[in-house]
Chains A and B, each alone.
Chain A
Amino acid sequence: MAKILFINPVVREEDVPRHIPYGIALLAAIAMKEGHLVQIYDANAHRLPLETIIEVCQADEWDAICIGGLTTTYNYIKKSCKLIKESAPNAQLIAGGGFLTSMPHEIFEWIPEIDVGCIGESFVTFPEVLKKIDNKDFNYSDVLGVIHRDLTGKSFLTNIRPNIKDLDTLPWPAWHLFPLDIYFANSSNLFSEESFTSKRRMDINGSFGCGLTCKYCWHLGTTGDMLVEENDNGENDVVFTYGRNIRYHSADYIVSMVKHLYEEYNIDFAAFIDENLMTMDVASKGTWLKELCKKWIEAGLQPTCRQQGIPHDENCKGVHWNGTSHAGLHRPETLKLMYEAGCTHLVYGLESFDPTVLRNLGKGSNARKNKQSIATCLASGIKPIPNIIIGFPEESFESVRNTIEALVELGITAKPHFATAYPGSEWYYAYKDSIMEQYDQDLEAYIMDLGDASKITATISHEFSPMQLLGLQQIVYLKDLRLLDLSEQHWAPVQEKLAPVIQPKMSFNLKTVKEAGPLAS
């Protein structure tokens, strides 16, 4: 059996570690189930100097060292891979996750130390790669869903790996291999009183992907949103689509998992990291969340404050939870049940209150629904957490005004995110050329600059420059329509005479059609 080291890279260095990496924890569990010897170094939790990796890599004779994460982990991964290969040259270096799936060939060029990468969903691909390594067979060309190299270092992508059909066949993540004390110390967050007072929060995942086609989003190639096709050079490359394989865990799987976390780790809060609970509920014809809430209560997980109808305090027992919602898809009767079962807050990606922006976004919502959603959610007792973005491609003074007026009406204070084109998203492919121009043709510099969209990296607004967007962000935060009017009086006449800052283009890597990747039978 192979000796495997997982490294969880540092992410969002400006904040404390808050999330046990769900994907790594799942893959570790799968590897152990296959009989492999597994160790995890959680660099994100420990936040030690980068060079600690050398000692970790020399702690044993590893057959494989595995690293992966979202695009925002790229900086750490790039530096780590160099140290990993230097200190454990005999180990196969395996990469995976969103940072690789979104742009596999570029990553293989930029990080030559990686031997093989798992593209998209890795639940079947990863154990197959481990089996190869265990057999000292380093020819990965017959494994579906991987990127690998020839002796010259040139990268090759194999054909697509079908998504697994039944998520309930997955084991529970290997939470016990992570420094839980560090994560528990950072349990509290500022989204609701219950989450603010949480002392033992853990993340859970009930579903994969989302049925919507928001242009800023992508789904890691794990939700039927990815194909592998030959490009103009006759080489396989990833193509992202509007296709979806909607999959969610059964209520029984989720509730038994949370019950285990409650009994084993005494958690007081479960944070659903699902992309969007409501799209899954719609896919189930409105049955999934109702069943989940019913079984949550039957399993004794309902917080006592909700059971007794009293304010939450430190004596409350049970498990509160939160998730993600959608302005056009939530239903009052479901929200009510969710509140009773312990749901404290729901994140709504409202993004904007401008009709044109929302119409073009692919979100399936509009300004009226966005406004109503706040009242509907509040009426259930659940706190809505509305996310706002500025800097959309079609952003204008009028669209910003529409958003500010709605924020005033609804009593929302928000410092908006900046519209950011993350690799894999429709925006990224539409504006890749413009992004390259903004980074002096250095795409890797852009990737290294990406954070959580709270700062401007590359702009995709057709009209507004970074200077204007920074000012508009502050004006939205202040909800100051006078400043917006003054800015428009000053800029609008000039802007009429200017060429657009950027323009969208077509790309091989994106097909705006509902063509889903394969699903295993």
Chain B
Amino acid sequence: MSDLLKGNFTTKKQVTKPNETKDSDTLESTFKKAALNSIGGSMVYVERTDLTWDGED
């Protein structure tokens, strides 16, 4: 937890940096970023997690 604000006085309320997001979220977003940066040839990335037609439309 660190203060997000830096200055020459103390603010009335402290604004702290939130804890890191869950490991699974971090891994997912990290993987997505790495994958998208490597696109080319057989390196492709599918962004959707579900494209199944549920038959209602």
Q: Considering the chains assembled together, what is the distance between the CA atoms of A42 and B5 in angstroms?
A: 8
Q: Considering the chains assembled together, what is the distance between the CA atoms of A32 and B9 in angstroms?
A: 11
Residues of A within 8 A of B8 (CB): 32, 37-39, 177
Q: Considering the chains assembled together, what is the distance between the CA atoms of A82 and B29 in angstroms?
A: 27
Determine the main DSSP class of A at the interface with B. mixed
A46 at the interface (CB under 8 A from B): yes
Q: Considering the chains assembled together, what is the distance between the CA atoms of A39 and B11 in angstroms?
A: 8
Residues of chain A at interface, number, CB under 8 A: 22
Residues of B within 8 A of A178 (CB): 6
Contact among B5, B9, B13, B14 for A41, CB-based, below 8 A = B5
Contact among A5, A32, A40, A61 for B12, CB-based, below 8 A = A61
B15 at the interface (CB under 8 A from A): yes
Residues of A within 8 A of B18 (CB): 48
Residues of B within 8 A of A42 (CB): 6
Indicate if the CB atoms of A58 and B13 lie closer than 8 Å: yes
Contact with B along A54-83 (1 / 0, CB 8 A): 011011110000000000000000000000
Contact among B5, B14, B17 for A48, CB-based, below 8 A = B17
Q: Considering the chains assembled together, what is the distance between the CA atoms of A61 and B17 in angstroms?
A: 20
Chain B's nearest CB lies how many Å from the CB of A471? Answer: 16
Residues of B within 8 A of A136 (CB): none
Q: Which of A41, A59, A177 has the most CB of B within 10 A?
A: A59
Indicate if the CB atoms of A59 and B5 lie closer than 8 Å: yes
Indicate if the CB atoms of B15 and A55 lie closer than 8 Å: yes
Indicate if the CB atoms of A46 and B12 lie closer than 8 Å: no
What are 20 A-to-B residue pairs whose CB atoms are below 8 Å?
A5-B5, A38-B7, A38-B8, A40-B5, A40-B7, A41-B4, A41-B15, A46-B17, A48-B17, A48-B18, A52-B4, A56-B15, A59-B11, A59-B14, A60-B13, A61-B12, A176-B6, A177-B7, A177-B8, A179-B2
Residues of A within 8 A of B (CB): 3, 5, 32, 37-42, 46, 48, 52, 55-56, 58-61, 176-179
Residues of B within 8 A of A (CB): 2, 4-9, 11-15, 17-18
